[in-house]
Structure 1
Amino acid sequence: MKGFLPRTLHPGLQILLLLGFMALCFCVAYAVIFAWGMGGFGLSTGQLIEAMQRPTTSPNGWGIMMMVQGVTLGLVFGGAALALASALGYRWAEYFNPRRLGAGWWLLAAAALIVVILPLMSVIIAWNADAHFPAALHDFEVWARASEDRAAGLTKFLTRLTSTSRLLVAIVVVALVPAVAEELVFRGVVQKNLVRWFSPHVGVWLAAAIFSAIHLQFFGFVPRFVLGLVLGYLYLWSGNILVSMAAHFTQNAFQLLILYFTQQGRFGWGFDPDATEPLPWTLVVPSALLSAGLLYFLHQRMTAPAAPTTMLTLSSEGVAVHRNDNQ
């Protein structure tokens, strides 16, 4: 595939170009949103803008905001990352998957890791939610908490999963689209180039910090940063974006399923998915030990040298053995 940019382009310039492509894709996304809103929902431009600004009071508010989120994330993040790879002359699989998937169970193991680590993450979430800024930043803390309360209200509205159809839409828009689009950007482009620019560990940690900061949730920065580290190292070790996508999807989808079953009254023990209290230590300690063990296991397996393959061919001179050491 021939691109119009050199593959040797500096990593910093690749990240800047990604931002440029995101700006272009943002324009395309909003053209799609307005076309969909007027054609699919039968709204005028004014009605669509009103519904986007006050979704809780609009009859079509939930569907419109789901459409806006899905189109925006899919095109602005995913579209920009794919456009950058194409501009550099790479096939998408070649750019985002420099290494073939070692085994299908890698995806299952990455998903299992996310579920296993949840009790441990609850401690980090509770600590970060109760964190306080220094006295000199008191006004910023008040503004930040008010901003997050407003965002939480919209999130609660969008995750009001009153039917199975709403759950399915949410799994696509809230779980699948972010897992694909955000991983393409933050691991596939940002981390990849930061690793080239600096070093593997610096690249993973910087990408995780950017991943967390861009969500603008100051009292959820640390748990999202830790999640970014887990996703980053899974991608670094495996060399395949599908692994971090599987983990990211599990993180989002598992929370949606908990919300759905709680809202449907399937959980009878008074579980509150919106609470920030840590889970009991009887769950947290095993979670920490199992997570550490699973991370170590995945690191050992994913970074192990690939075994050479042997191929037999039959000719008039007999059987010839060919070894392929380049996996």
Structure 2
Amino acid sequence: MGDERLLAAMLGQLIWLALALAGAAWLGGPLSERLGLVPSRLPWRWVVVALVGFLCLSAAADAGLRTLALREGGRLGEIDELVRDTRAALAASLVALGLLPALCEELLFRGFALRALEGRFATWVAVTGSSVLFGLAHADLVHGGAAFVLGLYLGVVAVWAGSVVPAILCHAANNLYGIAALAGLAPPGEPLDAVGAWGLLVASGVCLTLLRAVRKRPLPVGNELQREAESADS
């Protein structure tokens, strides 16, 4: 039963990937640019800062959900149960629930969707809109709400970096650590409210730093990419 659910999870992620590729192809232009698979403007030390901030924000969100007794129900509870049920197939869990979601979801929501929206709207609208879509895609009120908040952070990282790669790394690190903790291979997150609050404060500070950097270095996407391509052709 667990293996079947892992296969279903993998299939769902491949559908997200297909949508990202189809959307990028429909818009035209190089797929790598439409999906954000370009070199990051962020030096690696700042990628590490972004990753740490994301882990802090995720831990804070998790602590809040546990305090409100919302973690065990719905989709999040199902994922926890699936990881525990498939410990013998840990490698499959790491791929189906860790790496594939990080790659496929980021390419769709922080790659294609964010860049497509930013070609028509202001950056903050694009980040918010792609995060709303990310939350709705989880089809669960609690999981979707947490995904929306985390999506805002990942959107800021993607915009500042000018690339989806750092967002993929943040997403993957968070997923893999969560799976390892559930499987008993890593220490579980500290459930104390104070720790969660401090994590949220740290992550919020990182987000503010990223937002300030975004204003200074806007990302050339959408129509700007098209104009650059036309200029190069001429």
Deviation at 1:99, TM superposition (A): 5.8
Cα deviation 1:71-103 (Å, max 9, x = unaligned): 3312x1112212332344433322223863122
Deviation at 1:158, TM superposition (A): 2.1
Per mean C-alpha deviation after superposition, the further-off stretch among 110-119 and 154-163 is 154-163
Q: Which residue of 2 aligns with 1:244?
A: 167
Q: Which residue of 2 aligns with 1:159?
A: 83
Structure 1 residues 67, 181: closer, same or farther in 2, change over 3 A? same
Q: Is the 8 A contact 2:131 2:148 kept in 1?
A: yes
Equivalent residue for 1:81, pick from 20, 24, 31: 20
Cα deviation 1:137-172 (Å, max 9, x = unaligned): xxxxxxxx9xx65x5664344212564x62221111
Q: Is the 8 A contact 1:208 1:228 kept in 2?
A: yes
1:1-327 map, 5 Å:
61-74=1-14, 76-97=15-36, 100-102=39-41, 103-126=43-66, 149=74, 151=75, 154-160=78-84, 163=87, 166-261=89-184, 279-299=191-211
Q: Which runs of 5+ in 1 are unaligned?
A: 1-60, 131-144, 307-327
Separation in 1, partners of 2:52, 2:148: 19
Separation in 1, partners of 2:65, 2:76: 15
Q: Is the 8 A contact 2:117 2:126 kept in 1?
A: yes
Structure 1 residues 203, 299: closer, same or farther in 2, change over 3 A? closer
Normalised to the residue count of structure 1, the TM-score between the two structures is 0.57
Separation in 2, partners of 1:231, 1:185: 13
Deviation at 1:222, TM superposition (A): 2.6
The structure in which a higher percent of residues are helix is: 2
Structure 1 residues 195, 108: closer, same or farther in 2, change over 3 A? same
Separation in 2, partners of 1:71, 1:219: 23
Q: Which runs of 5+ in 2 are unaligned?
A: 219-234
Q: Could you say which structure has the greater relative contact order, defined with CA pairs below 8 angstroms and 6 or more residues apart? A: 2
Q: Is the 8 A contact 1:62 1:157 kept in 2?
A: no
State how many pairs are aligned.
216
The structure in which a higher percent of residues are strand is: 1
Separation in 1, partners of 2:166, 2:82: 27
